[in-house]
Amino acid sequence: MIVNSVAYQQGRVVARVASQDIHDYLGHADYIVWVAVRDPDHAELEQLKQEFNLQPLAVEDALHGHQRPKFEEYSDSLFFVIHTVEIDGEELRIGEINIFVTARYVLTIRKNSDRNLTEVRTRCENEPTHMQYGTGYILYALMDAIVDRYFPIIDGIASQLEHIEDRIFAGESARQNIESLYYLKQQLVTLKHATAPLLEAIGKLYGGRVPAVCAGLDDYFRDVADHLVRINQLIDATRDMVATAISVSLAMITVQDTEVTKQLAGYGALVAVPTMIAGIYGMNFQHMPELSWTWGYPMAVLSMVIIDLYLFYRFRKSRWL
């Protein structure tokens, strides 16, 4: 259950803490404890609830999962729900990280996510000066790392969009292009659901009244918010581009249909003229011009050929054929 558990004093590592010793360090006023947990079951969450004296409503959210990204402030603790987005083949897999924060500890619960936060812990341990801000700085480092992981996702979607746009103008299957574009639109909606609510939540951590554990870290959380604003703008811009690409694909289908219709009309005219002439001379009247003329048949055929050649020339000049 526990992936990592470390105690810090004045920003520096004191000990790697075994699960049975966590309570001892939590009871020491000079220490802060950072515990990382992955995919706990109900019994394990109950154990964590007792160990850390977690808020019951927050534990219930962590147990059931599938929560909207949010921030809850209780009397002496903070609770965050943040979505992680990872590429799994061609799909986006949504995970969830629940973060419990007080002045004494940070508890992270990672669910449905293969990518750990080891680099965040390494970064914090290499910055003891910043770690003296306490658990608020750990919260910032976690949020900063998770938000920065959104950038490669949106960059990958943008690259796929560029490839599909090339296919659109190369004349490849319009149906396949539209299906691919719609799939990208679904991915953007998924990413938007992870980032937009988080921007609202993090706005409560800087400017004006902020939780005590976040005091003095306004600039840090504002930087994370700036990254989120940029990500949301990129998502919105890419969604507009996808919508435009879908419209262009549909317009290309219309253009192709128009070209086919023009070609069919042109070939129809080439067939109609000989049919008309043959129809006239096929009428069963006794007295018809050229009926007994020796050159009547060759002249009729020659007229058909000449008229069709003239029509073909005009259609090609008008780019109908």
Report whether pLDDT(137) > 90. yes
| Polymer length in residues for the chain | 321
Residues above pLDDT 70, as percent of the chain? 97
Tokens linked to 21: 């010793």
| Every domain range in the chain assigned CATH 3.30.460.20 | 1-128
Band (295; pLDDT cuts 50, 70, 90) = confident
Band (80; pLDDT cuts 50, 70, 90) = very high
What element of type H or E holds 93?
A: strand 91-101
Rounded to whole angstroms, the Cα distance separating 180 from 64 reads 33
Say which CATH class 254-317 falls into.
Answer: mainly alpha
- The pLDDT assigned to 88 comes to 81
Please give the average per-residue pLDDT across 19-39, as a whole number.
87
DSSP state, 65? -
- Over the chain, what is the mean pLDDT? 86
Q: What is the pLDDT of residues 159-218, one digit of tens each?
A: 999 998 888 888 777 788 888 899 999 999 999 999 999 988 898 898 878 888 888 899
pTM of the model: 0.79
Please give the average per-residue pLDDT across 20-49, as a whole number.
88
Rounded to whole angstroms, the Cα distance separating 94 from 191 reads 9
Superfamily name with CATH number, domain 1-128: CorA soluble domain-like (3.30.460.20)
- Indicate the Cα dihedral angle 242, 243, 247, 248, nearest 10°: -30
Q: What is the pLDDT of residues 241-269, one digit of tens each?
A: 999 988 888 887 777 777 777 777 777 87
| Every domain range in the chain assigned CATH 1.20.58.340 | 254-317
